[in-house]
Amino acid sequence: MSKRVRMGMVGGGEGAFIGAIHRMAAALDGEIELVAGCFSSDPARGRATAARLGLPADRAYASYRDLVLGEAARPAGERMEFVSVVTPNDLHLPAATEALRGGFHVLSDKPAARSLEETISLRAVVHETGLVYGLTHTYAAYPMVRQAREMVCGGELGAVRRVTVAYPQGWLASADDAGGKQASWRTDPARSGESGCFADIGTHAHNLVEFVTGSRITEVCADLRSVVDGRLLDDDGAALFRLENSARGTLTASQVCAGEGNNLSISVYGEKGALSWQQEDPNRLQLRRRGGPLETYVAGADCAYLAPEARALCRTPQGHPEGYIEAFANIYRDFADRVRRARTGEPADASGASGGIEAGVRGMAFVRGALESSRNHSSWVSLRPLWEEPATD
């Protein structure tokens, strides 16, 4: 069977920034072929996108239900093998559920669903179908974040004591900014869910902490609010947190920091040294070892001093920078690999480099915990009971 994996897409029509990124990421390594899609809730617009992408008209579907049914009816060697869900948040759950129940693997934009309960119900479907499910926690797929994980989990810092993660953005800094397509649904509770900023980017920060430390956040004490007049969901907040491994930390997420782009950063402090990484300068990872010079690890497929897991995520030799699209492509490449293994009946590793459904549930448990804490004068909320809660529907 061909090495190429066949993909269908839900969402990602004209004007959707993230849909185009998903397609570039899927195309980059030549391992994935886009064969079908339902690109818009407006069928005519969806067909136009399909045509522009060179898809035959009969594989441009009017709904995700049609996509699943239509592709399922095609011969095995031709039909799509997985669905990439790149819609606004409210459709993540129904589209993913439909695809999984129809027998297709799913790679979904995050968050997995609008709420903790929805995500838990999705977890049940994933477990029941046994199919591959992935979430695009993009930042965990950068080579130097992987390097950080290998170093922290490998004990290079000794016991972790403190973690600082911050994610200031500025694109929702004023009511005027909220006019675009993306902004409108992100600030609408019916489409985004119960949280705005913390669900949208707080989950990235949460995932980054857990991915790099290899430990889970078990308690949160948060202070969230909505800064811009008339906004119904949180657009700014911060939290204290505690990890299983006894480390403590702070997490800041805000979308009203005018002037900021996408300034995610993390620092991990241990008993033997400290690591720092900034998403806007992603090819460098700084390590301060006790009593030594500052070390900067630089991405590169030829950097023998990097962990093999990090090098495997590099396409270029040292000094040829890679970026956000390549990180995204790492998720797609990894997902394609898992789909290929599933072809032959190999067990699909549910976690994946990009985070699977369990990471998704924990992310939404974190959001729920932060909201609860914030409503209760920043009292500490335990997260484990939330993520261990059985599905309710």
Q: Which of residues 71-130 bind its own copies (CB under 8 A)?
A: none
Query: Which DSSP string corresponds to 85-151?
Result: E-S-GGGHHHHHHHHHHTT-EEEEPSSSSSSHHHHHHHHHHHHHHT--EEE--GGGGSHHHHHHHHH
Closest CA to 234 of 242, 223, 249: 223
- Least CB distance to its own copies at residue 11 (A): 17
Q: Residue 96 carries which side chain, given as an amino acid letter?
A: A
Residues 217 to 236 in contact with its own copies, rule: CB under 8 A: 221, 223, 225, 227, 236
- Least CB distance to its own copies at residue 152 (A): 13
Q: Which stretch binds its own copies (CB under 8 A): 82-90, 196-204, 256-264, 334-342?
A: 256-264
Q: Mark 297-313 as b/e (b = at least 16 C-beta within 10 Å).
A: bbbbbebeebbeebbeb
By CB under 8 A, name the one of 250, 340, 358, 391 that touches its own copies.
250
- Least CB distance to its own copies at residue 47 (A): 16
Q: Which stretch binds its own copies (CB under 8 A): 21-29, 71-79, 91-99, 202-210?
A: 21-29
Residues 319 to 348 in contact with its own copies, rule: CB under 8 A: 319-326
The rounded distance, in Å, linking the Cα atoms of 115 and 121 is 10
DSSP for residue 242: E
- Least CB distance to its own copies at residue 292 (A): 6
> What are the beta bridge partners of residue 220?
241, 381
DSSP for residue 39: -
The rounded distance, in Å, linking the Cα atoms of 309 and 212 is 13
- Least CB distance to its own copies at residue 286 (A): 9
- Least CB distance to its own copies at residue 180 (A): 10
The rounded distance, in Å, linking the Cα atoms of 212 and 367 is 19
Nearer to its own copies (CB atom), residue 94 or residue 380:
380
Residues 357 to 376 in contact with its own copies, rule: CB under 8 A: none
Nearer to its own copies (CB atom), residue 101 or residue 343:
343
By CB under 8 A, name the one of 43, 94, 102, 170 that touches its own copies.
170
Q: Please compute Rg for the chain using Cα positions.
A: 20
The rounded distance, in Å, linking the Cα atoms of 324 and 57 is 31
By CB under 8 A, name the one of 305, 343, 346, 375 that touches its own copies.
305
Tell me the per-residue interface mask from 147 to 166 with its own copies, x by CB under 8 A, - otherwise: ----------xx--xx-x-x
By CB under 8 A, name the one of 69, 72, 232, 258 that touches its own copies.
258
Q: How many Cβ atoms from other residues are within 10 Å of residue 93's Cβ?
A: 23
Given a contact cutoff of 8 angstroms between Cβ atoms, the answer to whether 359 and 210 are in contact is yes
Q: How many Cβ atoms from other residues are within 10 Å of residue 43's Cβ?
A: 15
Residue 387, helix vs strand vs coil:
helix
Residues 260 to 279 in contact with its own copies, rule: CB under 8 A: 260-263, 267, 269-274, 279
Residue recorded with tokens 């705005």:
196
Q: Which stretch binds its own copies (CB under 8 A): 95-103, 113-121, 259-267, 340-348?
A: 259-267
Nearer to its own copies (CB atom), residue 133 or residue 328:
328
Q: Does 190 bind its own copies (CB under 8 A)?
A: no
Nearer to its own copies (CB atom), residue 261 or residue 347:
261
By CB under 8 A, name the one of 318, 337, 341, 372 that touches its own copies.
318
Site size with its own copies, rule: CB under 8 A: 91
- Least CB distance to its own copies at residue 103 (A): 24
